[in-house]
Each structure stands twice: as structure tokens, then as C-alpha cells.
Amino acid sequence: MAIGPEVRLYVRQRAYFACEYCGVSETDTGSELTIDHFHPHTKGGQDDVDNLLYCCARCNQYKADYWPAEASDSVLWNPRQESFETHFLRFADGKLYPTTATGEFTLNRLRLNRPPLIQHRLRKQRHIEETRLLEQYQHIMDLAEQLQQQQITLLEEQRLLLEQQRALLKLLLNR
């Protein structure tokens, strides 16, 4: 069964237009990604939206039509049902480290530490840090502007006080 445009748009929007496995977005790739059946059609999976994931061509290719045949077979992480943090840690070097057997299997199966993905994560982290620093800089600039306004107000108050002092001194000297 073909997936209609409405369902496709829903799955894209639900995934925020990014691969639900590795995080690469449509803007990173310059095009739409693919719709993947988490439980593959060839292994009995259905077209319902709960079984559809948005993913990049590379993750889709590496996942292929994997589905555990035996209870003892490794299970692939389902990003629609469990959070990323349940199975992975993101380290400063851009690599992912598994915290569960499912995380380890998924990391290896989808090759989530392939060099371009590591570079993508590092670039994304740098962008987040730069944005955070720019926001802090803007906050500091706003505070400096407020301080400058307070100084102007204080200088005006001081000028008025000096005028009043001069007037009082004139009164006292003219007596």
C-alpha cells in the first residue's frame, strides 16, 4: 500500500523534518528524507502511522528490513517509543555511546558513529554554543544599555542638585 501525501506530511512534521535515528534534517541534506516502516512490510509490518518513521537514506539503508526473528535476537531502538537518552550518551567528541544492549545494537546496525555524523553533531553543538554565547552577549548589551540610562538619569539628578546648591549658596551669600 502506498503512503499518501497527508500521512507523509504528518510523519515529516511529527519528526520535525529530521531523521528520527540520527537527527540529520531536511535542510542538512537539501531534500526530503524517507519514510521507513519500523516493523518492515516484508516482515509483517503495517502502514499505520505508529509504525512509520522519518529517516535519512543512510539510516534506512543500514536498517534495511531488519526485524528480530527470534526472541533472543537483538532489538532495534524505536525512537517513536523510547527517548534517545534511554539508550545513548552524547559525548563532547561527537560520538555516541550506548548505555543499553538495544543502544549498542542500534549504534552498530545504523553506524551512528560514521564520521560525517560525528562532524554533523560537532557542528550542531558548536552552533548551539555560539547561539548561547550570542544570547548572553545580547543580555550583557541590554544590561549595559540599562546601566547607561541609569547613569544619564543620575547625571541629570546631579545637575539639578548642583543648580539647587548654587541657588542656595547665592541666597546665603546675598544675605
Average pLDDT, the chain: 95
Q: Residue 3: which pLDDT band, with cuts at 50, 70 and 90? A: confident
Average pLDDT over residues 159-172: 92
The percent of residues above 90 in pLDDT, for the chain, comes to: 94
Strand 96-98 versus strand 88-90 pairing type: antiparallel
What pLDDT, on a 0 to 100 scale, did the predictor assign at position 172?
Answer: 87
Which pLDDT tens digit goes with each residue over 80-110?
999 999 999 999 999 999 999 999 999 999 9
H or E stretch covering 156: helix 115-173
Which H or E run contains 37? Answer: strand 34-37
62-80 tens-digit pLDDT: 999 999 999 999 999 999 9
End-to-end CA distance of the chain: 105
The pTM score is 0.77
What pLDDT shows up at residue 174?
Answer: 85
Cβ contact 76:102 at 8 Å: yes
Using pLDDT thresholds of 50, 70 and 90, give the confidence band for residue 25: very high
Find where cell 548642583 sits: 162
Evaluate if residue 1 carries a pLDDT over 60. no
